[in-house]
């Protein structure tokens, strides 16, 4: 079973703590070396802190129960967090690119790069550990806010790795322009992650259906009840953060009593509720023999 959304805020607090630690480490490494790559890396960690705070807010909102103004709950708040994180990643990429281009135009000698690589490596280890925790938690609890924050931290890891490669290359080649060149390459790489997060958030806000694999599993469950004489159609699904919404029409023989048909619908709904931990199921019962039952399968149910 999935944990209540309120319990997931501990992961967001973990991300906040990691961001504060890495900002301190990377800023110190930049101050020691003067590396524009490390400065860009520290800038992205600052963005990580903002993103973690937004994820914390989104998880708190998503945990609120349904109310009169939001009768389907607040779980879509997670998509706002994911979308903002994607946008922040793009902003970080632009900032890294701008700083790198300026350093290419006005090159500067770097110092104590070995110390900078060591300090940056420590910060990278912190980010990698927290990113893996966030990604696992996001997948386990179907939380796009946690997954987006994990992806954001992972981009920071790749940024740090790229910066470290740039500094090592400068040490070996004695050619300072390699530092901003690597920073530019890193900026281009993380744009992909930002665009992906914004796309997924947009699809969620547009009531995207569940993935095809989940749809196939859902249809298999429903087909298991056909042996009892029922049929089904007008199956529709949508996602709102961790919650799934499922609606369908259940067609039963007209000779059945209302109680028998209702009992079947209850069993189907309970079956789906135990299969999908956070789900809302709506069933609409219709007589199998009535032609009108086959004419109202559209979204607006304009039957004959």
Confirm whether 121 is domain-assigned. yes
Q: Do 181 and 220 belong together in one domain?
A: no
pLDDT band at 3 (very low <50, low <70, confident <90, very high): very low
Rg (CA), the chain: 26
Q: What is the dihedral of CA 285, 276, 65, 57, to 10 degrees?
A: -140
Q: Do 177 and 198 belong together in one domain?
A: yes
Confirm whether 303 is domain-assigned. no
What DSSP string describes 17-80? HHHHHHHHHHHHHHHHH--HHHHHHHHHHHHHHHHHHHHHHHHHHHTSPP-SS-TT-STTHHHH
Indicate whether 187 pLDDT > 90.
Answer: no
CA 1/CA 41 separation, integer angstroms:
38
Q: Do 138 and 102 belong together in one domain?
A: yes
Q: Do 135 and 22 belong together in one domain?
A: yes
Q: What CATH code is carried by the domain that includes residue 238?
A: 3.30.70.1350
Among candidate residues 168, 184, 205, the one where a domain is terminated: 205
The answer to whether residues 266 and 231 touch, using CB atoms and an 8 Å cutoff, is no
Cα–Cα distance list, 147 to 91, 198, 202 (Å): 19, 13, 15
Do strands 279-287 and 231-240 pair parallel, antiparallel, or not at all (unpaired)? unpaired
* Mean pLDDT (whole number) for 278-288: 90
Indicate whether 271 pLDDT > 80.
Answer: yes
**CA within 13 Å, CB half, 218:** 24
Q: Do 157 and 286 belong together in one domain?
A: no
The whole model's pTM is what? Answer: 0.63
Among candidate residues 147, 174, 205, the one where a domain is terminated: 205
pLDDT, tens digit, 9 for 90 and up, residues 71-83: 788 877 888 877 8
Domain count, the chain: 2
Confirm whether 302 is domain-assigned. no
Q: Do 147 and 233 belong together in one domain?
A: no
The residues that bridge with 232 in the sheet, in sequence order, are 250
Eight-class DSSP state of 226: G
Segments forming the whole domain that contains residue 222? 212-294
Q: Do 148 and 229 belong together in one domain?
A: no
Q: What is the dihedral of CA 159, 164, 165, 166, to 10 degrees?
A: 90
pLDDT, tens digit, 9 for 90 and up, residues 145-186: 788 888 878 877 877 777 777 767 766 777 777 777 777 777
Among candidate residues 151, 186, 205, the one where a domain is terminated: 205
Which of 153, 155, 128 shows the shortest CA–CA distance to 55? 153
Higher local confidence (pLDDT), 131 or 92? 131
Higher local confidence (pLDDT), 250 or 302? 250
Q: Do 27 and 122 belong together in one domain?
A: yes
Q: What CATH code is carried by the domain that includes residue 99?
A: 1.20.1510.10
pLDDT band at 111 (very low <50, low <70, confident <90, very high): low
Q: Do 219 and 185 belong together in one domain?
A: no
Q: Do 189 and 220 belong together in one domain?
A: no
Those residues with Cβ within 8 angstroms of residue 115's Cβ, 6 or more apart along the chain or in another chain = 29, 32, 33
Q: Do 166 and 69 belong together in one domain?
A: yes
Using alpha carbons only, give the angle 296, 302, 303 rounded to the nearest 5 degrees: 50
Q: Do 51 and 183 belong together in one domain?
A: yes
> In a 3-state reduction of DSSP, which class is residue 232?
strand
Those residues with Cβ within 8 angstroms of residue 173's Cβ, 6 or more apart along the chain or in another chain = none
Residue 35 has what pLDDT? 67
């Amino acid at each position: 079973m999935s944990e209540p959304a309120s319990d997931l805020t501990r992961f967001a607090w973990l991300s906040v703590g990691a961001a504060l630690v890495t900002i301190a480490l990377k800023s110190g490494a930049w101050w020691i070396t003067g590396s524009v790559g490390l400065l860009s890396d520290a800038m992205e960690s600052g963005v990580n802190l903002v993103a973690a705070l937004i994820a914390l807010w989104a998880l708190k909102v998503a945990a609120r129960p349904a109310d009169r103004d939001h009768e389907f709950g607040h779980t879509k708040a997670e998509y706002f967090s994911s979308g903002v994180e994607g946008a922040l990643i793009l902003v970080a990429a632009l900032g890294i690119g701008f700083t790198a281009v300026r350093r290419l135009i006005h090159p500067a000698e770097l110092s104590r790069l070995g110390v900078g690589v060591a300090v940056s490596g420590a910060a990278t280890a912190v980010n990698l550990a927290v990113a893996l925790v966030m990604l696992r938690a996001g997948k386990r609890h179907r939380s796009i806010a946690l997954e987006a924050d994990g992806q954001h931290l992972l981009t920071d890891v790749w940024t740090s790795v790229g910066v470290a490669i740039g500094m090592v290359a400068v040490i070996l080649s004695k050619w300072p322009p390699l530092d901003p060149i690597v920073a530019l390459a890193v900026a281009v790489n993380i744009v992909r992650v930002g665009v992906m997060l914004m796309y997924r958030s947009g699809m969620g806000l547009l009531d995207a259906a569940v993935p095809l694999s989940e749809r196939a599993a859902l249809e298999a469950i429903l087909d298991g009840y056909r042996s009892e004489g029922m049929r089904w159609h007008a199956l529709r699904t949508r996602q709102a953060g961790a919650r799934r919404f499922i609606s369908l029409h259940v067609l039963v023989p007209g000779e059945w009593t209302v109680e028998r048909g209702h009992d079947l619908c209850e069993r189907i709904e309970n079956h789906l509720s135990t299969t999908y931990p956070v789900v809302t199921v709506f069933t609409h019962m219709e007589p199998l023999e009535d032609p009108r039952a086959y004419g109202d399968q559209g979204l607006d149910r304009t039957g004959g």
